[in-house]
Chain A
Amino acid sequence: MDTSAVQRGPTDAELVGMLQTMIAARIYSTRCFNLQRQGRLGTMAPIDGNEATVVGCTYALQPEHDWIFSQYREFYALGRYGEEVIRRQVLYLAGHPEGSCYPAGVNVFPAQISLAAQIPHAVGMAWGQLRQGLPGVSVAFFGDGASSEGDFYEAANFAAVIKAPVIFMLINNGWAISTPTARQTAAATFADKAAAFGMPGVRVDGRDPIAVWEVVAAARARAVAGEGPTLVEAVTYRLGHHTTADDPTRYIPAEDMAAARAKDPVITYAAQLRELGLWDDAAQAAAEATAQAAIDAAVDAALATPLAPDAFFDHVYAETTPRMERQRALLLELEGKGQS
């Protein structure tokens, strides 16, 4: 197993890059939240509290080889996979079909709404890469809630059987909408479940991007060495809403939320880099300004992206069926008369 990357740890540039990406994630997410409140974007799930886990993980990956299978909360923090991800994410929230895909070369699967359904997809991708002798691992992000779905158990079980190069990235942020982890499992930890699959399970502080980086780098080295998958439980806390359609004050005690906010990973990690002499006020201001400019540009571009009224007929099949062509003609005729 090549453990050189694991041994050296993240470089100073990577440590700084992780913080910049975390700051950007919080700014992107907050802006999209506010735009939903203004009625300009659709329902969204804020990233708050998950930044360190997603960023620490992706910085330990090789984006040109490694695939991301995500839910719907992680995209704001996928800066390591390129700025096109946030541009498409805003387009997605704007309700435009081009937002649900990423261009060839960006190894990110479309957002998954049916929770845990992306986990067997990640295993299938890893299986296919293994069969074709392609390098790379597949990472499935899912939450403590989604870990109760059968898809998780079926996929993790099989991944261990075929030693698929997969990292199961379970983000335990304490809540599945309003349901606390104690209602999801009686196991002492989610990582414990790995034993039943016959794979290692690692519990890591999900608010510490360096710790996440180290765990994922080790899991990746193990996967590409043919030793199979790893279950990582990253423990953090959801610092607010499940989505824009939710009011967390109904079920999260105020004192618990206050305690979690005191450990906000974006703030604590910045303080850590300041102590290391890698971060200062100017760097903070520059990171914020860069992120603001990027999200402004993404929002302007998304809201100006044209969309044909019959676009939903495209990409259902490689070739539309004769019946669909009739339906398209009818839609366009009605459109012309203002009756669609």
Chain B
Amino acid sequence: MTVRTMVEAINHTLAREMARDERIIVFGEDVGANGGVFRATDGLIDRFGPDRVVDTPLAEALILGTAVGLAASGMVPVPEIQFLGFSYQAFHQLAGQIARLRYRSNGRFDAPITMRAPFGGGVRTPELHSEALEGQLANIPGLKVVMPASAHDAAGLLTSAIRDPDPVLFLEPLRGYRSLRDDLPDDADVIEPLGRAKLVREGTDLVIVAWSYQVEVARKAAEALAEEGASVAVLDLRSMVPLDIDALAAVVSRCGRVVVAEEAPMTAGFGGEVVATIVEECFYDLEAPPVRVSGYDVPFPMAQLEDRDVPSVARLAAGCRRALEVAP
């Protein structure tokens, strides 16, 4: 066992999977000699060679467009988009092509494509490096959207994503790359199933539903609220598509109060989908209206203001108090 940060866990998992399956090809901007701008692909080119770890031209539509043809040829493409915000330059290949390869071919072609991309606030990046696009992506049938919140889950969910016959968008939180770490095995697979949420903290009064780095924010908010006498659970959705409706409904029904935390802007964000699902599934078990704590309806802000936009521990705790104060 070795303590690994999230980015080290991703690197270790990529190496294990590439050793297991020689059809896997990793490609993107600066993934070779540079090992990726965050070192997620560090050392892979030395071990697997430049035919399997390929630096592409600076062309996102090319990266995702060639993934379609590679998959149809029998390869297992694992492209990296350097920052999720740059995927706008390939959105037609993502939404119009990758998502539909199986459907357009009436099942002839699998699309075992895992697109990795970092995103998220809190690290003071330039414009278009931080935006959380999961709500937009989850609205595209044919894609799976997976967002790990720990080093362990990054390893376990990435393993499952690469082995999955469908396209998986694997979105990695920048803020968690080096701040989140777990003790992980050196010579054994870590496998976590896609489409399963995880209850990361027990509680009885309220549940915070979160994903990606907001799970860490939610844990801290729950600890703060515990000092005020509130028992707050945290559910890590882990996967937007497929959504674990049963786990979501079970914990909300049990707690009766729910806060949904997300980094993306509120309007039409995935949090709205979560709340709609809760209302459909467990309306009569609710003791208070669901509360959303999200980014504001603004483009992701410049560095000096980003801490006002990305939900903080204090803002999430305040949202929880609003839900807890409603009389039953």
Interface positions of B from 104 to 121, Cβ below 8 Å from A: 104-108, 110
Q: Is the CB of A317 within 8 A of B93?
A: no
Q: How many residues of B contact A (CB 8 A)?
A: 44
Q: Does A117 contact B (CB under 8 A)?
A: yes
Write out the residue numbers on chain B whose beta carbons fall within 8 Å of the beta carbon of A97.
106
Instruction: Using known A-B contacts A120-B68, A121-B65, A317-B166, determine if residue A128 contacts B106 with beta carbons closer than 8 Å.
Output: no
A125 to B112, CA, bound (A): 14
Chain B contacts with A in 241-280, Cβ cutoff 8 A: 241-243, 245-246
Of the listed stretches A100-108, A213-221, A225-233, name the one at the interface; the rest are far from the partner chain: A100-108
Indicate if the CB atoms of B103 and A316 lie closer than 8 Å. yes
Please tell me if the beta carbons of B141 and A125 are within 8 angstroms of each other in the complex: no
Residue in contact with B92 in the complex, picked from A110, A117, A123, A315, CB distance below 8 Å: A117
Number of contact residues on A: which range applies? 35 or more
B residues near A131, Cβ cutoff 8 Å: 25, 51, 75
B191 on interface, CB distance cutoff 8 Å: no
B61 lies within 8 A of chain A by Cβ? yes
CB within 8 Å for A158 and B108 given contacts A109-B72, A117-B92: no
Against A, the Cβ 8 Å flags (1 = close, 0 = not) of B11-44 are 0000000000000010000000000000000000
Q: Is the CB of B104 within 8 A of A129?
A: no
Whether A150 sits at the interface, judged by CB under 8 Å, is yes
User: B51 touching A102 by the CB < 8 A rule?
Assistant: no
What's the count of A-B pairs with C-beta under 8 Å? 135
B104 touches A101 (CB 8 A): yes
Closest to A326 in B: B245
Interface-central residue, A109, A124, A125, by most chain B CB under 10 Å: A124
Residue contact A321 to B56, C-beta cutoff 8 Å: no
Contact with A323, one of B93, B103, B105, B243 (Cβ below 8 angstroms): B243
Could you tell me which residues of chain B, from 83 to 109, have a CB within 8 Å of some CB in chain A? 92-93, 96-97, 102-108
A123 adjacent to B66 (CB under 8 Å):
yes
Is B141 a contact of A316 with CB atoms below 8 Å? yes
Other-chain contact of B61, A98, A154, A314, A317 (Cβ < 8 Å): A154
Question: Which residues between 305 and 334 of chain A lie within 8 Å of chain B, taking CB atoms?
Answer: 314-318, 321-323
A315→B73 contact, CB < 8 A = no
Closest to B97 in A: A117
Chain A nearest CB from B164 CB (Å) reads: 8
Q: Are B245 and A323 in contact (CB under 8 A)?
A: yes
Question: Do A158 and B107 have beta carbons less than 8 Å apart?
Answer: no
Q: Indicate which residue in B106, B166, B243 contacts A98 across the interface (CB closer than 8 Å).
A: B106
- Contact status B142-A121, CB under 8 Å: no
**Alpha-carbon distance between A117 and B96 when the two chains are bound, in angstroms:** 9
Most buried by A among B51, B73, B93, B141: B73
Closest B residue, CB atoms, query A314:
B107
B: residues with CB less than 8 A from A are 25, 51, 56-57, 59, 61-62, 64-75, 77, 92-93, 96-97, 102-108, 110, 141-142, 144, 164-166, 195, 241-243, 245-246
The 5 closest A-B pairs by CB, nearest first: A124-B69, A120-B65, A128-B73, A124-B66, A125-B69
Q: What are 26 A-to-B residue pairs whose CB atoms are below 8 Å?
A: A98-B106, A114-B92, A117-B97, A120-B61, A120-B65, A120-B66, A120-B69, A121-B65, A121-B69, A123-B62, A123-B65, A124-B66, A124-B70, A125-B69, A127-B70, A128-B71, A128-B75, A132-B75, A134-B73, A154-B59, A154-B61, A155-B62, A158-B57, A158-B59, A318-B110, A321-B241
| A interface residue numbers (CB < 8 A to B) | 69, 97-98, 100-104, 109-110, 114, 117, 119-129, 131-132, 134, 138, 150-151, 154-155, 157-158, 161, 314-318, 321-323
